[in-house]
């Protein structure tokens, strides 16, 4: 573990399901506006682009797009897209189509995504079963797994591109299942490991600073489900 690791946590830019409140869109990609939001990160956070030691991304289409557009300067400096760490454990929580990733074979068939090293994608990574299930227990375990994975990385400045719901679980505090912070599209926030917990299995984080919040707020699929459920009452 690098001492005092800095985590550059990033939510994906605006995706199609954020606009239409339609979480039945399979593996929802970025909208044209979302691509502009992502590309703006190179201008909004130039220092972080220069300081990043590794870039890690969820394998869903919208996060991979946010990664290569938003962190292009850092990725180029670090040796190209094949050096981006594709991490299936960073996928979104729910089992709706918009939050269910495409198979390795499908992504490899699309030139836009075939440029990544997709070998970490196992046949069951998008099954939403077992370790990948959208249950409280499985999500708590997966969020803890991610924190431990990040803690044990050797790099000091770690870019991590993921999704609103899982980011809330990753950044939760003791005694809570999830943070209630409303991550915006293409928002970047800096976290560090809490010294009190860094050597424990929970290895909780604490927020160091806000850095950038490009674009506007887009509901996650969990929030959409809650909102639509309330509308039916």
In angstroms, the CA 93 to CA 190 distance is 22
Q: Residue 149: CA atoms inside 13 Å, Cβ hemisphere, count?
A: 16
Residue 28, in any domain of the structure = yes
Region of 175 please: left (phi>0), alpha (psi -120 to 50) or beta: left
Residue 148 belongs to domain spanning: 6-231
Query: What are the E-state strand segments in the chain?
Result: 6-11, 54-57, 85-86, 157-162, 187-193, 205-213
Which of 88, 210, 95 shows the shortest CA–CA distance to 149? 88
Indicate which CATH number applies to the domain containing 139.
3.40.50.1240
Task: Quote the tokens at residue 95.
Answer: 């089992």
Q: What does pTM read for this prediction?
A: 0.91
Q: 9, exposed or middle or buried, with CB in 10 Å at 0-12, 13-18, 19+? A: buried
Residue 77 neighbours by CB distance under 10 Å: 12
Residue 1, in any domain of the structure = no
Please tell me the total count of domains within the chain.
1
Residue 47, in any domain of the structure = yes
Whether the per-residue pLDDT at 16 is higher than 80: the answer is yes
Helix axis angle for 32-39 and 61-70, nearest 10°, is 40
pLDDT band of 127, cuts 50, 70, 90: very high
Q: Would you say 100 and 62 are in contact if contact means Cβ atoms under 8 Å apart? A: no
For 135, phi then psi, to 5°, come to -100, 160
Residues pairing with 85 in the sheet:
56
Residue 174, in any domain of the structure = yes
Give the pLDDT of residue 157. 97
pLDDT tens digit sequence for 43-95: 999 999 999 999 999 999 999 999 999 999 999 999 999 999 999 999 999 99
């Amino acid at each position: 573990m690098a001492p005092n690791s800095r985590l550059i946590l990033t939510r994906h830019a605006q995706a199609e399901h954020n606009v239409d409140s339609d979480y039945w869109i399979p593996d929802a990609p970025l909208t044209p506006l979302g691509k502009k939001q992502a590309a703006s990160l190179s201008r909004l956070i130039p220092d972080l682009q220069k300081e990043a030691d590794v870039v890690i991304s969820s394998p869903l289409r919208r996060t991979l797009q946010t990664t290569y557009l938003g962190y292009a300067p850092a990725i180029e400096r670090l040796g190209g897209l094949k050096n981006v760490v594709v991490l299936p454990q960073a996928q979104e929580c729910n089992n709706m189509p918009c939050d269910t990733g495409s198979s390795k074979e499908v992504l490899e068939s699309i030139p836009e995504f075939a440029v990544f090293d997709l070998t970490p994608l196992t046949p069951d990574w998008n099954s939403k079963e077992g370790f990948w299930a959208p249950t409280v227990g499985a999500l708590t375990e997966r969020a803890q797994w991610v924190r431990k994975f990040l803690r044990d990385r050797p790099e000091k400045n770690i870019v991590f591109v993921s999704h609103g719901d899982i980011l809330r679980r990753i950044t939760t505090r003791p005694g809570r299942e999830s943070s209630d912070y409303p991550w915006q599209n293409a928002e970047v926030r800096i976290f560090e490991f809490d010294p009190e917990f860094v050597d424990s299995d929970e290895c909780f984080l604490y927020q160091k600073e806000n850095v950038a919040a490009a674009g506007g707020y887009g509901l996650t699929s969990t929030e959409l489900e809650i909102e639509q459920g309330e509308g039916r009452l």
